[in-house]
Amino acid sequence: MIRNFFRKFYLFFIFVLLYAPILTLIVYSFNASKTRAKWGGFSLKWYSSLFENKAILQALSNTLLIALLSALIATVIGTMASVALNSMKSKTRTFWMSMTNIPMLNAEIVTGISLMMLFIAVGNFLSLFGGSITFGFMTILIGHITFNLPYVILSVMPKLKQVNMSTYEAALDIGASPIYAFFKVILPDIMPGVLSGFLLAFTLSLDDFIITHFVKGPGVDTLSTKIYSEVRKGIKPEMYALSTLVFITVLLLLLIVNYKPKQKNNAKV
Amino acid sequence: MSNKLIDLVGITKSFDGELVLDDLNLYIRENEFLTLLGPSGCGKTTTLRILGGFENPDKGSVIFNGENITQLPPNKRQLNTVFQKYALFTHMTIAENIAFGLKIKKKSKAYIDDKIKYALKLVNLQGYENRMPDSLSGGQQQRIAIARAIVNEPKVLLLDEPLGALDLKLRQDMQYELIRLKNELGITFIYVTHDQEEALTMSDTIVVMNQGYIQQIGTPEDIYNEPQNAFVADFIGDSNIINGTMLEDRLVEILGAKFPCVDEGFGRNKPVDVVIRPEDIDLLKPEEGTIQGVVTHLIFKGVHYEMEVMANGYEWLVHSTDLFPVGTQVGLHVDPFDIQIMNKPESEDEEAVSIDE
Ligand SMILES: Nc1ncnc2c1ncn2[C@@H]1O[C@H](COP(=O)(O)OP(=O)(O)OP(=O)(O)O)[C@@H](O)[C@H]1O
Ligand SMILES: [Mg+2]
């Protein structure tokens, strides 16, 4: 009995530690009073003033657009890369798999700075021919595609390995072209992996701060960089509301990523 | 059954430096039921995959109807394959599976529906249109795989151990089904198996393979009654394969005893392999046999008794419907035409084969 109680208490304690900060944030986002010192009653006013803030809304739309586009593009490229990886001999595959995994282990700040350097270098090179690179939407997008790619590959590869390749050959055998066979036979089988790769990429892009911080230009912001610059000026309760919304969105997306493929598998078994 | 439909000329294939097929030559006639038979790993599937276009041979060519198709991709070949694993499209219904090839060929809806009905009837699975592959038994899935292949009206159907995963009873039923199918469709079957009984039951022609070499090509009767070497004799059914010496035409010495036989032209005092099928040995009273021995093992096999008889230092495998208890003194007799004489292997490859076995 007592052991059982302690077990439960311990679990509870851990979760308190994990979630206390974010809970505080969420609670304060509903605080009618402007100061953190006292509870002024429940209110949604920070949420409504948040949605009247043009700059924030612009950052929100940037964030969503970049998350969507970068996840889409990374999913397409990543899936194609997985197919190529999967058809390699096992030694070559192991090598290229580790090559794609390294950027994931790399500190984000390193990835961010190196991307920035790369854009500057390419910009310098282009300037020889009268071209240029402006830091802004495009550079953020490219940066996000880059760091999303390994995650897509990571979630598509296991599915692809499970695919019974003789179904693909069977499709070719009865007249399908390789591309048709891929879309009709392989893709439906790896779809759970592709979808979770997409959602993972979307989520990562949505809440990325460090890389975005380095590759964004002046005046172009995503939510996370916007929050950061607002907070530097002084913390406004709107930011609590915004952070709450970001947290809940990411939480929901993660729940979907983690549960959706599993349910599918269970249904099959 | 006259003209060559497919001709494999000098096919050589290796994987990672390991030779799997070595200069394989084989032709298949129209409307033939040809079986590739051999132990696991001997290159049967590889041969079939080269025919289907899933592997390219390192050397040699595949001639189909007089046309060189070695480089033609699988989707352009008039051959269809039934794979070792069923390879049905799991997210499609049975009807969609069967219609897959027809839709690619842009056939009309009415034509496709007709074909689905016809194919399901042919494989005895009427009414299964809307089932999913997962909900079918192994035998049913394999029949759907066959249906999916034949609706495309291939000239040749390649079957890679299609009955390998089925239990004995179902396998026997399916063997008859396949023979019936072949007769109804009038197409050429190239069948792969490592089950010698299956090969003997179903085939017009059997190709016995080992380690990438063709050991013998012939009708089931040829292969069974006149194996050309010890490997074939051993692989096709149980056999007594004994060292012997051909003393002269029509007389062979085995284990010190002289047996009259019907083979000629081996020369005098030539070492040979002698094959005697267990059912061809007659057990008699000791004094009536060519050699004498004692029964050491006895197993009841249903239709016959299987016995081992120790005689002149060799354990003879004998099948008989008469019972001779263990310990009985018996005489062994073999009719001259039941003795099969084979030259000892000459080439190193053949040597390797017989040592392995
Ligand atoms: N893609 C491949 N890569 C490397 N080796 C291969 C490949 N395919 C076949 N082999 C090798 O070639 C040899 C012949 O294989 P194959 O599949 O043709 O044998 P099989 O006669 O069909 O055997 P089984 O009865 O077990 O199906 C085997 O040693 C196998 O390991
Ligand atoms: Mg095989």
Residue nearest to atom 25 of ligand 1 (CA): B40
Q: Compute, in degrees rounded to 10, the torsion defined by CA atoms A216, A221, A225, A227.
A: 170
Predicted pLDDT at A258? 76
Residue A96, Cβ density class (10 Å: 0-12 exposed, 13-18 middle, ≥19 buried): middle
End-to-end CA distance of chain B: 34
Q: Which residue has the tokens 């990374």?
A: A74
Predicted pLDDT at B347? 53
In a domain, A34, yes or no: no
At residue A42, the 3 state secondary structure works out as strand
Candidates B84, B90, B148, partner chain A, best to mutate (most A CBs within 10 A): B90
Cα dist from A65 to A51, A134, A245, whole Å: 18, 18, 17
In a domain, B230, yes or no: no
CATH of the domain at B219: 3.40.50.300
Residue nearest to atom 6 of ligand 1 (CA): B15
Pair B146, B176 in one domain: yes
Q: Does B335 or A230 have the greater pLDDT score?
A: B335
Which of B11, B44, B58, B191 has most ligand 1 atoms within 8 Å of CB, for mutation?
Answer: B44
User: B19 has which bridge partners?
Assistant: B14
CB pair distance less than 8 Å for A173 and B81: yes
Total count of domains within chain B: 2
How much is the average pLDDT of B44-61? Answer: 94
In a domain, B346, yes or no: yes
Is the pLDDT at B104 greater than 90? The verdict is yes
Pair B17, B134 in one domain: yes
DSSP string across A135-187? -SHHHHHHHHHHHHHHHHHHHHHHHHHHS-HHHHHHHHHTT--HHHHIIIIIH
Is the pLDDT at B345 greater than 80? The verdict is no
Range of the structural domain that residue A114 is part of: 55-234
**Which of A217-226, B189-198, B256-265 shows the lowest per-residue confidence on average (mean pLDDT)?**
A217-226
Predicted pLDDT at A228? 87
Predicted pLDDT at B34? 95
> Would you write out chain A's pLDDT as a tens digit for each of its 269 residues?
677 888 888 888 888 888 888 888 888 888 888 777 778 788 888 888 888 888 888 888 899 999 999 999 999 999 999 999 998 888 999 999 888 888 888 888 999 999 999 999 999 999 888 888 888 889 999 999 999 999 999 999 999 998 888 899 999 999 999 999 999 999 999 999 999 999 999 989 988 999 999 998 888 888 889 888 888 887 778 888 888 888 888 888 888 877 755 444 444 33
The answer, yes or no, to whether any atom of ligand 1 lies below 6 A from the CB of B40, is: yes
How far off is chain A from B8, nearest CA to CA, in Å?
19
Is the pLDDT at B249 greater than 60? The verdict is yes
Would you call A7 an interface residue with chain B, using a CB distance cutoff of 8 Å?
Answer: no
How much is the average pLDDT of B331-356? Answer: 72
In a domain, B69, yes or no: yes
**Residue A166 in tokens:** 């003789």
Ligand 1 centroid–CA B212 distance in Å is 10
Q: How far apart are CA A244 and CA B217, in angstroms?
A: 77
The confidence band for B2, taking pLDDT boundaries of 50, 70 and 90, is: low
Pair B339, B201 in one domain: no
Ligand 1 centroid–CA B40 distance in Å is 8
CATH of the domain at A228: 1.10.3720.10
Q: What is the pLDDT of residues B135-170, one digit of tens each?
A: 998 888 988 999 999 899 898 999 999 888 778 888
Predicted pLDDT at B226? 87
Predicted pLDDT at B357? 38
Predicted pLDDT at A260? 58
In a domain, B154, yes or no: yes
Query: Does this model's pTM top 0.95?
Result: no
CB-CB neighbors (< 8 A) of A185 in chain B: 89
Predicted pLDDT at B1? 46
Candidates A91, A159, A174, partner chain B, best to mutate (most B CBs within 10 A): A174
Q: How far apart are CA B112 and CA B103, in angstroms?
A: 8
Q: How far apart are CA B171 and CA B145, in angstroms?
A: 15
Ligand 1 centroid–CA A269 distance in Å is 30
The confidence band for B191, taking pLDDT boundaries of 50, 70 and 90, is: very high
Predicted pLDDT at B346? 63
In a domain, B257, yes or no: yes
How far off is chain A from B338, nearest CA to CA, in Å?
45
Pair B250, B180 in one domain: no
Candidates A88, A159, A173, A189, partner chain B, best to mutate (most B CBs within 10 A): A173
Residues 6+ apart with CB under 8 A from B22: B12, B212, B213, B349
The confidence band for B225, taking pLDDT boundaries of 50, 70 and 90, is: confident
Would you call A259 an interface residue with chain B, using a CB distance cutoff of 8 Å?
Answer: no
Neighbours of ion ligand 2 (CB under 5 A): B 45
How far off is chain B from A164, nearest CA to CA, in Å?
7
Residue A216 DSSP symbol: P
Pair B296, B198 in one domain: no
Domain boundary among B225, B251, B266: B225
Predicted pLDDT at A263? 45
Q: How far apart are CA B128 and CA B338, in angstroms?
A: 51
In a domain, A31, yes or no: no
In a domain, B306, yes or no: yes
Residue nearest to atom 28 of ligand 1 (CA): B41
Rounded to two decimals, the ipTM of the complex is 0.78
The answer, yes or no, to whether any atom of ligand 1 lies below 6 A from the CB of B17, is: no
Cα dist from B238 to A71, B51, B207, B217, whole Å: 64, 32, 18, 19
Number of neighbouring beta carbons within 10 Å of residue B40: 7
Range of the structural domain that residue B289 is part of: 239-355
CB pair distance less than 8 Å for A169 and B83: yes
CB pair distance less than 8 Å for A169 and B81: yes
Pair B178, B268 in one domain: no
Pair B157, B11 in one domain: yes
In a domain, A105, yes or no: yes
CB pair distance less than 8 Å for B83 and A175: no
Q: How far apart are CA B191 and CA B173, in angstroms?
A: 16
Pair B289, B264 in one domain: yes
Pair B290, B221 in one domain: no
Contact (CB, 8 A) for A81 and A97: no
Predicted pLDDT at B234? 86
- For A180, the closest chain B residue by CA position comes to B104
Predicted pLDDT at A77? 96
In a domain, B254, yes or no: yes
Cα dist from B347 to B20, B113, B243, B344, B353, whole Å: 18, 56, 18, 10, 10
Predicted pLDDT at B260? 93
The answer, yes or no, to whether any atom of ligand 1 lies below 6 A from the CB of B49, is: no
Q: Compute, in degrees rounded to 10, the torsion defined by CA atoms A125, A131, A132, A137.
A: -120
pLDDT mean across residues, chain B: 89
In a domain, A268, yes or no: no
Q: What is the pLDDT of residues B279-299, one digit of tens each?
A: 999 999 999 999 999 999 999
How far off is chain B from A180, nearest CA to CA, in Å?
9
How far off is chain B from A93, nearest CA to CA, in Å?
16
Predicted pLDDT at A55? 85
- Give the per-residue SS3 of chain B: CCCEEEEEEEEEEEECCEEEEEEEEEEEECCCEEEEECCCCCCHHHHHHHHHCCCCCCEEEEEECCEECCCCCHHHCCEEEECCCCCCCCCCCHHHHHHHHHHHCCCCHHHHHHHHHHHHHHCCCCCCCCCCHHHCCHHHHHHHHHHHHHCCCCCEEEEECCCCCCCHHHHHHHHHHHHHHHHHHCCEEEEEECCHHHHHHHCCEEEEEECCEEEEEECHHHHHHCCCCHHHHHHCCCCEEEEEEEEECCEEEECCEEEECCCCCCCCCEEEEEEECHHHEEEECHHHCCEEEEEEEEEECCCCEEEEEEECCEEEEEEECCCCCCCCEEEEEECHHHCEEEECCCCHHHHHHHHHC
Total count of domains within chain A: 1
How much is the average pLDDT of B235-243? Answer: 87
CATH of the domain at B252: 2.40.50.140
The answer, yes or no, to whether any atom of ligand 1 lies below 6 A from the CB of B15, is: yes
Three-point CA angle B22, B208, B76, nearest 5°: 65
- Taking only residues 183 to 202 of chain A, the set having a beta carbon closer than 8 angstroms to any beta carbon of chain B reads 184-185, 188-189
CB pairs under 8 A between A and B: 63
Pair B57, B140 in one domain: yes
In a domain, A205, yes or no: yes
User: B9 has which bridge partners?
Assistant: B61
Residue A19, Cβ density class (10 Å: 0-12 exposed, 13-18 middle, ≥19 buried): exposed
In a domain, B39, yes or no: yes
Predicted pLDDT at A201? 93
